[in-house]
Amino acid sequence: MIKSILTGTGLAAITCFTACNQGQKQPDANASSTLDAVAANVDSTVNPTQDFFDYANGGWIKRNPIPAEYSSWGIGNLVQEELYKRLRIINEKAVENPTDPISKKIAAFWTSGMDSVRINQDGIKPIEADLKAIDAITTIPQLVQVASKLNITTGAFCSLYIAQDAKNSDVIAVQLAQGGLGLPNRDYYFNTDARTTNIRNAYPGHVAKMLQFVGYDSTAAKKAAAGIIQLETSLAKNSRKLEALRDPEANYHKMAVTQLNKIAGNINWNEFIKQQGINKFADTIIVGQPEFYSNLSNAVKSQPLQTWKDYLKWNLINSASQHLSDTIANTDFAFYGTLLKGQDKQKPRWKRVLDAEESAMGEALGQLFVKEFFNTTAKKRYENLVEEIRTELKIRIEHLDWMSDSTKQKALYKLSKITKKVGYPDKWKDFTAMDIKEQSYHQNIEAAHQWWQNYQINKLGKPVDRNEWDMTPQTYNAYYNPSNNEIVLPAGIFTVPGKRDEELDDAIVYGYAGASTIGHEITHGFDDEGRQFDAAGNLKSWWTKDDEKKFNERAAVMVKQFNNYVVVDTLRINGKATLGENIADLGGILLGWEAFKKTDQYKKNEKIAGYTPSQRYFMGYSLGWLGHTKKESLARQVLTDVHSPAKFRVNGPFSDVDAFYEVYSVKPGDGMYRPDSTRVRIW
């Protein structure tokens, strides 16, 4: 993954692994900008040898402040702005003339989401039935039953999902992971820095405000919030840290459900799973973090039943808030949007509805998107580029001086078996059974949740569909899935706002798409996590012990490098948690560069807009990270994201690339300089 963490498809819980406009006016989707895609972004007051990110992107950043409704603003937002306009037109046309089942669903979803009058009048009416179910709980078995049903849409209690077995990729399995927290992750409950402490101190007050919407008076709400925080803190205490979650072997515990009942016996797991609608599955389950479930079981017995009921109501209103009245949605936003991310105001309703629709049935919209905006010529260009990048990694593996021949042969075999998916699926999902119709907005959201739940459940006991996509074509992102040994590259990731694909010179394409996307994703198959999966997608060691030791020693150099980068306040990048993404960034840059050197543009060495092809390559890569982020969101990213902030995804790996030193004449004493002995050398 490169632009964001992928945690699921649509509304289902699935595990996956892993320029532009110069003013406030958004680029015209139907006309080309006359500005050069990279030269127009440069800040000429910055020396590229001191801070390349600020040099390559600083001009654009100065002219494009972050809008009030966003916590960051950059190229991904520019792509999304074009998508918003296109998708709004699709929705409005569907409302005017719903000609088929899909357009009727699109029209119904859009209409219900845009009906603010009804949404505000309904208040908490859409969740009243669930609130009554919680009120009716009088025993632990009833608690578990209701918690399981609510877990599908709220994520309360824990994280249950259906995905490939990491050690047997031909099998779909029921899996459990830690979860159930209202703050972004466990560190928010314990870190002592001023920014995190301020958020933690504000959290009880926010929970109390939300509880008042579901009938608590102020005194009862304050008391209930205190109990909820105490409960969540106990769950957080036994939740693993971000970096610990990146060890696939340590987070894999296949066991019989009877064994899970032994280590977490206060919960009837057979019943919990059944309440999710899962009636047919093997008698085994894969548990990521057993200690979390032992603690959850203890809490079910030791915590007062009323505290659990308060906790379930909090999770219900918290998860539903953005689909309820403006008053509720704005209260939710004040905490999660403003305090945690630095956003000053909500996106307009129409954009929020489109975001929800993208999660609900984005692939249906994607069918319309690719017909108009990603032609067969563009698809072929990037399919060819994948093979060029694959060839360069093959050459680099063959010439590694630190890896044994036996491991090299297995690495080369795995590389040859990586499947590429470019642009859009060959087969589209069928959303016919999704019960989107003329009903409340919240009901349509719930219907989408249930459809995705059923969609995942229906995979159990069937062959793995390795042709499935876990992103929509219009997504500005990409991913590597180790269980399928595949790279998935949606059409949206190749978009440069305001430019048609044929207008982009190879230098930009090889940096922007070849390095930051294709090379990045291929390298994920050989990063600290991906390298533990074999060519068939199974978690299985294929390295010699000596080669593994050498890899870890070289990776440790990168951990140390990124641990030293201060992002905001005193918060530093977590080098271990971000290691996989940092390795993939560096690998992508090296592979893209080697492939670009074989192009006619590189060989002719003719300047465009005053820059050499080599300079434009590094500028093209930097274009992929064009943008800036508010401090609140940066602080959150450092604690919760396995990706380094954008600036360090440019400056960090560039300082390890010898070709960058040659192109820009980087010397000792320059900000981008690292002594040769401390540069990362892996792939």
Q: How confident is the model at residue 501 (pLDDT cuts 50, 70, 90)?
A: confident
Q: Is 124 helix (H, G, I), strand (E, B) or coil?
A: coil
Q: How far apart are CA 405 and CA 319, in angstroms?
A: 52
Tens of pLDDT, residue by residue over 209-266, are: 999 999 999 999 999 999 999 999 999 999 999 999 999 999 999 999 999 999 999 9
Tens of pLDDT, residue by residue over 364-382, are: 888 878 877 788 888 999 9
Q: How far apart are CA 571 and CA 648, in angstroms?
A: 14
The candidate with the shortest Cα–Cα distance to 174, out of 453, 441, 361, 424, is 453
Give the DSSP letter string of 439-463. S-HHHHHHHHHHHHHHHHHTTTTS-
Q: Tell me whether residue 644 is exposed, middle or buried, using C-beta atoms within 10 angstroms of its C-beta: 0 to 12, 13 to 18, 19 or more.
A: buried
Phi, psi of 41 (to 5 degrees): -95, -10
Q: How far apart are CA 15 and CA 154, in angstroms?
A: 17
Tens of pLDDT, residue by residue over 610-638, are: 999 999 999 999 999 999 999 999 999 99
Q: What six digits make up the tokens of 12?
A: 């289902």
Q: Tell me whether residue 633 is exposed, middle or buried, using C-beta atoms within 10 angstroms of its C-beta: 0 to 12, 13 to 18, 19 or more.
A: buried
The yes-or-no verdict on residue 495 having pLDDT over 70 is yes
**Distance from the first to the final alpha carbon of the chain:** 18
Contacts of 446 (CB under 8 A, 6+ apart): 153
Decide if domain 67-85+352-427+471-678 falls under CATH 1.10.4080.10: no
Q: Do the beta carbons of residue 521 and residue 585 sit within 8 Å?
A: no
Evaluate whether 67-85+352-427+471-678 and 125-346 have a shared fold: no
The fourth-level CATH superfamily of domain 125-346 is: Neutral endopeptidase , domain2 (1.10.1380.10)
The candidate with the shortest Cα–Cα distance to 98, out of 83, 109, 85, is 109
Q: How confident is the model at residue 429 (pLDDT cuts 50, 70, 90)?
A: very high
Strands 72-74 vs 627-629: parallel, antiparallel or unpaired? antiparallel
Report the C-alpha dihedral over residues 136, 140, 141, 147, rounded to 10 degrees.
Answer: 70
Cα of 237 vs its chain's centroid, Å? 24
Q: Do the beta carbons of residue 369 and residue 86 sit within 8 Å?
A: yes
Report the C-alpha dihedral over residues 76, 77, 82, 88, rounded to 10 degrees.
Answer: 120
Find tokens 């249930």 and name the residue: 450
Q: How far apart are CA 26 and CA 423, in angstroms?
A: 24
Q: Please tell me the pTM assigned to this model.
A: 0.92
Any idea what DSSP says for residue 676? Answer: G
Question: Domain residue spans in the chain?
Answer: 67-85+352-427+471-678, 125-346
